[in-house]
């Protein structure tokens, strides 16, 4: 089958029941997206499907159809650059493992909500687990990114 990912149509040989995460990492070698729990519990594997944050570890690739996937490797726009700068300025990552998934959700949050409140951030980011406990830095960085885009 073919899938649409990061602006390209790409042929894949994985079976339809294969979780999208395995296709992304093992077949397409896009290793920015991480495997954490494999059970839709941690958010490390978050990608966008048609712009919505989705846990790729629990999404059979056959469900994609013509929907477009975007991974961190395909993100290159004003909001993404604002997030990137805020992450650096606030020294958000510790080990870094959870951060790609977080960034994917933050991008969708800032697309929908130009000036998110703490509550908006808690609601959007609540499903992301960071074993290093960077939650407060993530929140500060989201506020900075939003302000810089205003």
| Alpha-carbon distances of 147 from 7, 40, 118, 125, 140, rounded to whole Å | 29, 31, 14, 18, 11
70 strand-pairing partners: 48
Contact of 120 with 113, CB cutoff 8 Å: yes
Interacting residue with ligand FES among 18, 27, 32, 38 (CB under 6 A): 38
Q: How far is CA 11 from CA 1, 5, 26, 49, 75, in A?
A: 6, 10, 14, 17, 21
Q: Does 100 bind ligand FES (CB under 6 A)?
A: no
User: Of 22-30, 77-85, 109-117, 126-134, which part binds ligand FES (CB under 6 A)?
Assistant: 126-134
Using CB under 6 A as the binding rule, whether residue 57 contacts ligand FES is answered as: yes
**Whole-number minimum distance, CB 84 to ligand FES, in Å?**
16
Q: Select from 22, 35, 73, 149 the one that contacts ligand FES (CB under 6 A).
A: 35
Please state the closest distance from residue 120 (CB atom) to ligand FES, in A: 21
């Amino acid at each position: 089958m073919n899938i649409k990912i990061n602006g390209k149509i790409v042929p894949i040989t994985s079976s339809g029941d294969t979780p999208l995460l395995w296709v992304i990492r093992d077949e397409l070698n896009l290793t920015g997206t991480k495997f954490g729990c494999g059970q839709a519990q941690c958010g490390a594997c978050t990608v966008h499907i048609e712009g919505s944050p989705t846990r790729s570890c629990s999404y059979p690739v056959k469900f994609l159809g013509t929907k477009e996937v975007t991974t961190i490797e395909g993100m290159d726009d004003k909001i993404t650059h604002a997030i990137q700068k805020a992450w650096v300025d606030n020294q958000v990552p510790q080990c870094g493992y959870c951060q790609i998934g977080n960034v994917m959700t933050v991008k969708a949050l800032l697309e929908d909500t130009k000036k998110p409140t703490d509550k908006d951030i808690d609601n959007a980011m609540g499903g992301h687990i960071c074993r290093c406990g960077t939650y407060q830095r993530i929140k500060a960085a989201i506020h900075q990114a939003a302000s810089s885009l205003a």
